[in-house]
Amino acid sequence: MDEKNETLTDFFLLGLFPDDSRMHWFLFSMVVVIYTLSMAGNAAMVLLIWADARLHTPMYFLLSQLSVLDIFFTSVTVPKMIAGFLFGWISISFGGCGAQMFFFMFLGAAECILLALMAYDRYVAICNPLRYPLLMSRQTCLLLVAASWLGGSLNASIQTALTLQFPYCGSRKIAHFFCEVPSLLRLACADTAAYEQVLFVTGVVVLLVPIAFITTSYALILAAVLRMHSVEGRKKALATCSSHLAVVNLFYGPLVYTYMLPASYHSPGQDDVVSVFYTVLTPMLNPVIYSLRNKEVTGAMKKVIGKCGVGRTV
């Protein structure tokens, strides 16, 4: 890539682009396959929930919103990565970098909040089933989803504005495959210690507070499940909760590493690997986890597949 042909304000994304041609095409193929599966799986989940009347419940409405967020979240970074693999387009303008950073943090924070709200939904369904229709009405669900989107946009606006105010007068080479705050701060020509403290506080609000909320919700859920006399009721409650907990661990774990640990614990190679989990793998695995662990979703899938099979035979 000839950097002389780029403007002085361009950054260069150097992560996950190995010099070895075989490894290069292997990674390219893996990213394309995973991205395609992620798009197809999450789109199928949204359409399935919309098409099957049995899934028109608050839990599945929130799940459909999670799939919508995953579709946009992975699309913020992966298409640019694919273009880098295929055409060598590793440069990104200052404005493009800021836009990528904003939408990444916007959608990521919105998903953090939404996962916490999904834990609240499970708490109400299991611990207060008689009040569930009232507490989780359609209007309430819409307000909860709006709150997650607004919270995400507020978080992204603050962090993007603060990150882009620093002067970047040295190297323009970002040792990452997208414009993420920690990687960009390494290139700043100013003392970023104060901002890193702000970033830590923001991480506490966006990550640790929802984690504490989720932990409290599931502690109360576990206590309620242990008091259940019906074995079938216990199994059903644990099945829906285990799917959500698996998604929470896959998403929150890498984010806590990236945004809560001090910079001394990070290295470009490790950051690349960890970021792949929540930008590429987790959005693909979410619909798979909910499909395998949920009888209502698998039943709806079989019904749709059966209809398609009947339609073809006719």
Q: Output the DSSP codes for 193-238.
A: HHHHHHHHHHHIIIIIHHHHHHHHHHHHHHHHHHT---HHHHHHHH
Give per-residue pLDDT as tens, 61-118: 999 999 999 999 999 999 988 888 888 788 888 889 999 999 999 999 999 999 999 9
Judge whether 38 and 280 are in contact, CB under 8 Å. Answer: yes
Element (DSSP H or E) covering residue 291: helix 282-292
Is 120 within 8 Å of 217 (Cβ atoms)?
yes
Q: What's the CA gap between 259 and 82, in Å, rounded? A: 25
Q: What is the pLDDT of residues 163-186, one digit of tens each?
A: 888 888 777 888 888 888 888 888
Q: Is residue 68 part of a domain?
A: yes
Q: How confident is the model at residue 5 (pLDDT cuts 50, 70, 90)?
A: very low
Q: How many CA atoms lie within 13 A of 279 on its CB side?
A: 25
Instruction: Output the domain CATH number for residue 170.
Output: 1.20.1070.10
Q: Is the pLDDT of residue 312 over 60?
A: no
Could you tell me if 160 and 101 are in contact, meaning their C-beta atoms sit under 8 angstroms apart?
yes
CA–CA gap between residue 119 and residue 114 (Å, rounded): 9
Is residue 314 in a domain? Answer: no
Residue 3 lies in a domain: no
Q: Is residue 309 part of a domain?
A: no
Q: Is residue 294 part of a domain?
A: yes
Question: Among the listed ranges 4-13, 149-158, 207-216, 221-230, which one has the minimum average pLDDT value?
Answer: 4-13
Total number of domains in the chain: 1
Q: Is residue 308 part of a domain?
A: no
**Residue 267 pLDDT:** 67
Per-residue pLDDT band at 17 (split at 50, 70, 90): low
Residue 313 domain flag: no
Q: Is there a domain that residue 256 lies in? A: yes
Residue 172 CB neighbour total at 10 angstroms = 19
Exposed (0-12), middle (13-18) or buried (19+): which is 285, by Cβ within 10 Å?
Answer: buried
How far the first Cα of the chain sits from its last, in Å, is 55
The predicted model scores a pTM of: 0.86
Between 77 and 294, the more confident residue is 77
> Distance between CA 175 and CA 15 in Å, rounded?
5
* Residue 188 DSSP label: -
Mark 111-129 as b/e (b = at least 16 C-beta within 10 Å). Answer: bbbbbbbbbbbbbbbbbee
pLDDT at position 236 is 75
Amino acid letter, residue 83: A
User: Which amino acid does the sequence have at 74?
Assistant: T
101 Cβ neighbours under 8 A, 6+ residues apart? 156, 159, 160, 163, 164, 179, 180, 181, 184
* 13-41 mean pLDDT: 83
Domain residues for the domain of 203 are 10-302
Output the CA torsion sign for 55, 57, 60, 64: positive
Contact 54, 297 (CB under 8 A): no
Q: Write down how long the chain is.
A: 314
φ and ψ at residue 168, rounded to 5 degrees? -120, 85
The answer for residues whose C-beta is within 8 angstroms of residue 50's C-beta and 6 or more apart is 64
